[in-house]
Amino acid sequence: MAAAPANPRTGSPRAQLPPCYYEGYLEKRGAKEKVARRLWTCLCGNTLYFFNSPKDTSYVEKLDLSGFVSLIDDPSRDRNLEAARLNLRMKDGEIKLTAPNLEARELWKGVLYSVVDLAVPTTLTLLPGQLHMLKEVVEKEKMRRQARVSSRAPSSPLSLPLVGEIPACFRPVSRTEAEVLLERHPDCGNMLLRPGRDGSSLAVTTRQDLNGSVFRHYRVTQKQQGSYIIDVENPIPCPTLHDVITALVEKTAGTLQPFLLEEPYEENITFVSSNDENGERTLHCAPTGPLSRAPSLPPKQVGTDRWSLRSQTRSPSSSPRSFSPPGSPSNSMRRLVLSPSPLSQSLTDELKQKLEKRRTNQE
């Protein structure tokens, strides 16, 4: 592989950078650069640091990914036929990057998307081990950001206690992150509600197109009674946060629409299994057909219980000493028991013949 796993270095300024998730050689050419430069690139936190060589302790450039907009493959050919290009579009311009090969480009895309979206991308062609690495990157970056936010002063963006139901367009993001969200997803709306920078108010960020992106930010303060005010030249009182959004939609004749970003969900059930022979783990897709149910057992047939029959025949009404009228069930059973069987009748006739023969011989 073109890129090597991160190797922590101590005793140098590089050790003071955020944790390194991935590193390797990339060719970089900015919007104002005519020639691309081959630089050792490290993804530390949500920032790309560029070094002249892997052994350098001081970086020559850095690129903060908080202004990330998109990452698109560049199908143009490079002088190196194995190289793979991609365009990194930022809020302030576009940067062209070139990876050594297609596999390296796919992995760079994976780590960049994982850090920006804090989720493992599902549309890339990656191996199970690489997907596991991206999952660890997401968890580490979440912990890093949480630790950074908790160490800030004086208060976090979510310190404001909101009263009433929160609109669906509320996002716990900063001003810059709100602008990036609106620019990256223009089809999801152009207005979102977010915490204010001071932690004691709210803000509405909007985006419109006028020879480029035009962003506007409006402060929303909460009154002691629980209602809200849009702080403009002529303040607009609103009973709830939903009324804040409705007021802005109505004031702009529907030009501003709430930002509603639908989270992606999987369309198929997948699971990971390991090969018993070589231990390789593979991602499988569960069958989509209906569940196969076990055949149902036939209903249990209720047979004649001989004990219940005996209990009926031994009832007081069927006692041998009791009188039963003709035709009753107990009388029929008595006739059945007292009537001689064919075998006993033949034995009786044979015994009679022997007695007659003995008497004849005696006479």
Distance CA 305, CA 310 (A): 9
Q: Report pLDDT for 130.
A: 92
Give the percent of the chain with pLDDT over 70: 74
Phi-psi region of 11 (alpha: psi -120 to 50; beta: other; left: phi over 0): left
Residue 10 clears pLDDT 90, i.e. is over it: no
CA–CA gap between residue 248 and residue 188 (Å, rounded): 17
Residues in the chain: 363
| pLDDT tens track for 293-310 | 656 666 655 554 544 444
260: left (phi over 0), alpha (psi -120 to 50) or beta: beta
Q: What is the mean pLDDT of the chain?
A: 79
* Contact in structure between 110 and 3 (CB atoms under 8 Å): no
Give the pLDDT of residue 9: 38
Q: Which domains, and CATH codes, for the chain?
A: 15-151 (2.30.29.30), 175-252 (3.30.505.10)
Mean pLDDT of 146-158: 54
Cβ-in-10-Å burial (0-12, 13-18, 19+) of 183 comes to middle
Paired strand residues for 192: 205
Structure tokens at 282: 């593979």
Supply the pLDDT for residue 324: 46
Q: Which tops the pLDDT comparison, 156 or 39?
A: 39
> What angle is formed at CA 255 by the lines to CA 251 and CA 261, rounded to 5 degrees?
115
CB atoms within 10 A of CB 239: 12
Q: What are the residues whose beta carbons fall under 8 Å from the beta carbon of 235, sequence distance 6 or more? A: 229
More confident residue, 9 or 328: 328
Read off the pTM: 0.43
Q: Regarding predicted confidence, which is higher, 342 or 226?
A: 226
* Report for 9-13, 50-54, 146-150, 356-360: range of highest mean pLDDT: 50-54
**pLDDT for residue 363:** 62
Mean pLDDT within 230-245: 92
As separate numbers, helices (DSSP H) first and strands (DSSP E) second, the chain gives: 7, 14
Residue closest to 242 by CA, chosen among 310, 309, 306, 166: 166
